[in-house]
């Protein structure tokens, strides 16, 4: 028995070493740094770093920009998360329907945005959203809606980012949902039809419960991904206007890698970690209680 365990460790050793060196050590280092004011001065000379206890964390709670970024990120996660999952599920059900032809082509089309480079996508969407020349305002003009400065108006910028992010990302979850749907045995639906169930009843009583594990996975992955919102506002709005699209990760990046306030930046990272951890915990709880 003993030899079997040590053999296992022997084979695990390379992976464990790598994880330890490149994951745990940096994480621990970052955690320690978050209690100092490590910055560009300290990079030149370590004696210029001060141990400041919880001051980074306390300062964060008084930093209006941090709260703004937190608010923006929650806005994004709470609106874009469910929306994205709903769109993915809807698309998956359409593609799984027996009535649809050329499934392969549709699946491919919906998946293309996921694999397209974000920078290219952002350029196209900036044109779509352009207040004077954009096709979105042009089309809205037909139904009598005045042009909106999508990315320049503080109230519309985040919805514009959400729309783009949902469009860009729903294809990935859609594929997972399709796999989930295909695992639901057909006889359940047949039995339901025999019992006289309508489409909505079938969806509510068969599809949703049978998809529960898939949905949990998808929602956790989506939530974690969306809390780390960065690239979309970074390329579209740089966090503006009036910081209304500044996300937590973007703020962390700015503080850390533009202004070299590593200590402060590390503190932001740990708060984000804590929030995501809490969010995942809640989702597990909800899932568990609904199973009973």
Positions in the binding site for another protein (CB under 8 A): 37, 39-41, 43-45, 48, 50, 126-127, 129-132, 149-154, 237-238, 240-243, 254, 257-260
Are the CB atoms for 165 and 232 separated by under 8 Å? yes
What CA–CA distance (Å, rounded) separates 51 from 238?
A: 32
What CA–CA distance (Å, rounded) separates 79 from 73?
A: 10
Q: Measured from the CB atom, is 39 or 232 closer to another protein?
A: 39
Q: Measured from the CB atom, is 217 or 259 closer to another protein?
A: 259
Helix pair 64-96, 103-115: axis angle to 10 deg: 160
Are the CB atoms for 30 and 273 separated by under 8 Å? no
Q: Measured from the CB atom, is 154 or 213 closer to another protein?
A: 154
Least Cβ distance, residue 43 to another protein (angstroms): 6
When computed from its CA atoms, the radius of gyration of the chain, rounded to whole angstroms, is: 24
The CB-side HSE value for 280 (13 A sphere, CA atoms) comes to 15
Least Cβ distance, residue 40 to another protein (angstroms): 6
Least Cβ distance, residue 44 to another protein (angstroms): 4
Among residues 19, 86, 33, 3, the alpha carbon closest in space to that of 268 is found at: 33
Least Cβ distance, residue 249 to another protein (angstroms): 16
Q: Measured from the CB atom, is 225 or 241 closer to another protein?
A: 241
What CA–CA distance (Å, rounded) separates 188 from 160?
A: 41
Least Cβ distance, residue 75 to another protein (angstroms): 18
Q: Measured from the CB atom, is 59 or 280 closer to another protein?
A: 59
DSSP symbol at 206: I
């Amino acid at each position: 028995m003993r030899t079997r365990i040590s053999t296992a460790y022997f084979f695990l050793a390379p992976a464990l070493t790598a994880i330890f060196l490149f994951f745990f050590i940096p994480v621990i280092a970052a955690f320690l740094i978050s209690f100092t004011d490590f910055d560009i001065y300290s990079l030149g000379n370590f004696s210029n770093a001060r141990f400041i206890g919880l001051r980074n964390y306390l300062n964060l709670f008084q930093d209006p920009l941090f709260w703004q970024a937190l608010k923006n990120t929650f806005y994004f996660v709470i609106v874009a998360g469910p929306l994205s999952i709903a769109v993915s599920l809807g698309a998956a059900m359409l593609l799984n329907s027996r009535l649809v032809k050329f499934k392969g082509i549709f699946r491919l089309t919906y998946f293309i945005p996921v694999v397209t480079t974000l920078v290219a996508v952002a350029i196209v969407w900036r044109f779509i959203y352009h207040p004077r020349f954009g096709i979105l305002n042009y089309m809205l003009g037909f139904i009598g809606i005045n042009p909106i400065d999508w990315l320049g108006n503080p109230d519309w910028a985040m919805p514009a980012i959400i729309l783009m992010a949902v469009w860009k990302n729903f294809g990935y979850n859609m594929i997972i949902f399709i796999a989930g749907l295909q695992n639901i045995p057909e006889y359940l639906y047949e039995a339901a039809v025999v019992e006289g169930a309508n489409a909505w009843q079938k969806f509510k009583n068969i599809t949703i419960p049978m998809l529960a594990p898939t949905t949990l996975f998808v929602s956790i992955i989506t939530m974690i991904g969306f809390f780390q919102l960065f690239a979309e506002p970074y390329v579209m709005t740089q966090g503006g206007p009036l910081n209304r699209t500044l996300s937590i990760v973007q703020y962390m990046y700015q503080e850390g890698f533009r202004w070299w306030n590593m200590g402060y930046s590390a503190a932001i990272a740990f708060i984000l970690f804590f929030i995501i951890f809490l969010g995942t915990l809640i989702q597990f709880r909800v899932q568990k209680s609904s199973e009973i």
